[in-house]
Amino acid sequence: MSSYWQNPSLNTALHFAAREGHVAAVRLLLIRGADIIVNKNDTSFLHEALQNGKKDVVNAVIDSERCAEALKVFTPGSSQRCPIVDMIEFLPETYKHLLDRCVRESDDDHNSPEYHIEYDFEWLQAPIMAKKITDKNYKFQPLAALNAMVQYNRIELLNHPVCKKYLAMKWVAYGSTAHVLNMFLYLLGLMPLTHLIVTLRPSMNTTETGGHDIIMVPVSFTQQSLFMSFCMVMVVIMNIYSIVKEVVQITQQRWSYFRDYSNQCDWISAVFSLLFIIPVMFNSEGSLHWQAGAIAVLNSWVGFLLYLQRFEGVGIYVVMFGEIMRTLIRVVMLFFYLMLAFSLAFHALMLNQREFESVPLSVMQTFVMMVGELNYQNNFLDAYLNHELPFGPLTYFFFVGFVLLMPILLVNLMIGLAVGDIAEVQRNAALKRIAMQIDLHTALEDKLPYWFMKRVDKPSVTTYPNRKCSRRFLKVIFFGEEETNEVWNRLQSKSKSCTVIETELRKQKQRMKEMSSILEKQHGLLKLIIQKMEITSEADEYDGPVTIRGTMWPTLSHVKPRGRSTSRWVPLMKAIESKRK
């Protein structure tokens, strides 16, 4: 009870040493077996070091033999999170150091078929999994470490080889199967819809008054072939299933559901597919449902393209396409007023031109001209030569200004903004694709039972990059770059780090040579001074190795005169020495 009043916060020596950043003290306490416990606020000494930014202390804990014990000490449900999450938020470079220790290479030659690399996934989810094993009722967030990296935008950690291999292991274990199954279910609705659009394409007759009649293909659900009826039923069933699935996702994801544009595409595809297929099944009159079918088939194939962004080999390009399109839309919306200005000017000046007869037609024609199709001869030259251009000089002045501003300046600006910094776009797209993978695996692990996850999860993965793979092409498409390229990149980074170390060693060697040369010169000067002053020391009579504190620097009390003659400097030096004493 007295110890409690002396230390009411229950802090240990490790807490105080870690909080103040005393690396040597923390290392010594860990070696001597100090208890790793939490204090009254459920804070361990590692929490103290992380939240106070003591990087050297955290690195010392990672390098110690009690690293696993320190990382697993936390209280679930308290205000203090797992140390792994704090490490990612406050000191991501220390977590990178921890992940670097999870990569172990074999001692074989780098070109040998037996050369392998082992990736250990112990510190991506292990502390939380350990709590799950001890407490069956404890609910944890799947992929907590990876979700924290996405939340705090730790790009360098997400691109770490251990994280990439961990996601690849999850993808092979269950992610690819679930995603391919989802794609197959999507195709069960897409392919019948495509067949109906191609087969039931209507015809058009032009009337004498200039109008047109759309003649739909007569369809009766009961009188059609079995395959056509099957396609109609599949479109109805799969789109109803899609709507139910989207409603369930809304209840689970809440507001985050509406931030994903692929969900909006799925809604448009499902609703317009039903608006198309139901009138077709009942052989309804009119052509509005056919327009709904055109919208449905367009959005359905765009939605299928978005499914490919989950695959690492080709998904990066789908995500990059979306990023560039977003940039282009922002630029076009900004400069739409410039296009509207020229459209109104051409509509006002070109009176007899059908392309500029109305404002909507003028806007559309100006938009087409903006991408390079000026149609100069028909719209401007012939009209000017035939005296059909009432405001010729002003029209040509506006036309020259339009050519300079829109097709040349604006289009090149949009292209430059879209693809000028393609490396930045690719890096952002890679991060976004990894975030999508993490979201997919997190959602799947929320639904999959724990016994299944325990069976398919692997604590580590060993790769043999120099062994040939018969399915290399498919592996590159589905899993990204080859392992040989990854190993080559790893060797390059190691060689770069080794080059830096070698450079520093050369500098230190050069400095030591300079210091040695200076010491030799000083030693020679001292010998000359001693000889000039006719001083005899014990070093002259000593036949053995010379030591700095021994015979090389004698005190003046040991100075002996050479023969019968005594140097005139000796009394003076003895007097100075006696004064100092």
Contact assessment for residue 440 and residue 179, using Cβ atoms and an 8 Å cutoff: yes
Count CA atoms closer than 13 A to 330's CA, side-chain side.
Answer: 10
* Residue 298 and residue 198 in contact, taking contact as beta carbons nearer than 8 Å: no
CB atoms within 10 A of CB 513: 10
Q: Is the pLDDT of residue 300 over 70?
A: yes
Pairing of strands 203-206, 212-215: antiparallel
| pLDDT at residue 356 greater than cutoff 50 | yes
Mean pLDDT (whole number) for 438-453: 82
Count CA atoms within 13 Å of residue 549 on its CB side.
Answer: 0
DSSP state of 407: I
CA dihedral 311, 316, 321, 323 (to 10 degrees): 120
CA distance 448 to 435: 20
pLDDT of residue 27: 93
CATH superfamily of 2-98: Ankyrin repeat-containing domain (1.25.40.20)
Decide if pLDDT at 191 tops 90: yes
The pair of three-digit structure tokens given for residue 315, joined into one six-digit string: 């998904």
Q: Are 351 and 390 in contact (CB under 8 A)?
A: yes
Cα-to-chain-centroid distance, residue 409:
34
- Return the half-sphere exposure (C-beta side, CA atoms, 13 A cut-off) of residue 364: 8
Q: CB neighbours (10 Å) of residue 261?
A: 11
- Determine the residue type at 463: T
Query: In the predicted model, what is the mean pLDDT of residues 54-72?
Result: 92
Angle at 194 between CA 193 and CA 195, to 5 degrees: 90
* Interval 481-488 mean pLDDT: 53
Task: Give the pLDDT score at 319.
Answer: 85
What does the block give as tokens for 437?
């993978």
* pTM summary value: 0.71
Does the pLDDT of residue 134 top 80, yes or no?
no
Give, rounded to a whole angstrom, the gap between the first and last alpha carbons of the chain: 58
Distances (CA, A) of 202 to 189, 216, 225, 273: 22, 5, 18, 17
Angle, alpha carbons 417-418-422 (nearest 5°): 100
How much is the pLDDT for 346?
93
Query: 323 and 425 in contact (C-beta within 8 Å)?
Result: yes
Do 145 and 123 contact (CB within 8 A), yes or no? yes
Most confident by average pLDDT, 340-354, 429-443, 488-502, 528-542: 340-354
**What secondary structure does DSSP assign to 500-521, as a single string?**
HHHHHHHHHHHHHHHHHHHHHH
Could you give phi then psi for residue 462, rounded to 5 degrees?
Answer: -115, 125
Question: Residue holding tokens 């001209």?
Answer: 369
Q: Which of 43-47, 354-358, 500-504 has the lowest mean pLDDT?
A: 500-504
Q: How large is the average pLDDT for residues 174-196?
A: 92
pLDDT tens digit string along 16-36?
999 999 999 999 999 999 999
pLDDT recorded at residue 2 = 36
Q: Are 329 and 335 contacting, i.e. CB atoms less than 8 angstroms apart?
A: no
Task: Look at the alpha carbons of 483, 485, 488, 492 in this order and tell me if their dihedral is positive or negative.
Answer: negative
Strand order in the sheet with 460-463: 103-105, 117-120, 460-463
User: HEC string of 213-245?
Assistant: EEECCCCCCCCCCHHHHHHHHHHHHHHHHHHHH
User: Residue 5's pLDDT is what?
Assistant: 41
CA distance linking residue 465 with residue 477, whole number of Å: 17
Burial class from Cβ neighbours inside 10 Å (0-12, 13-18, 19+) for residue 166 reads buried
Average pLDDT value for residue range 370-393: 86
How many residues comprise the chain? Answer: 581
Alpha helix (H) residue ranges in 91-175: 92-100, 122-134, 144-151, 155-158, 161-170
What local confidence, expressed as pLDDT, does residue 564 receive?
47
Q: Percent of the chain at pLDDT above 70?
A: 80
pLDDT band at 422 (very low <50, low <70, confident <90, very high): confident
* Residue 449 confidence (pLDDT): 79
Mean pLDDT across 294-313: 90
User: And the tokens for 309?
Assistant: 């962004």
More confident call, 51 vs 322: 51
How far is it, in rounded angstroms, from Cα 186 to Cα 184? 5
Query: In 3-state terms, what secondary structure has residue 458?
Result: coil
Does the pLDDT at position 557 exceed 80?
Answer: no
- Biggest alpha carbon distance in the chain? 145
Highest mean pLDDT among 186-195, 319-328, 475-484, 547-556: 186-195
**Model confidence at 540, in pLDDT bands (50, 70, 90)?**
low
The answer to whether 133 and 193 have CB atoms below 8 angstroms apart is no
Q: What is the pLDDT of residue 220?
A: 65
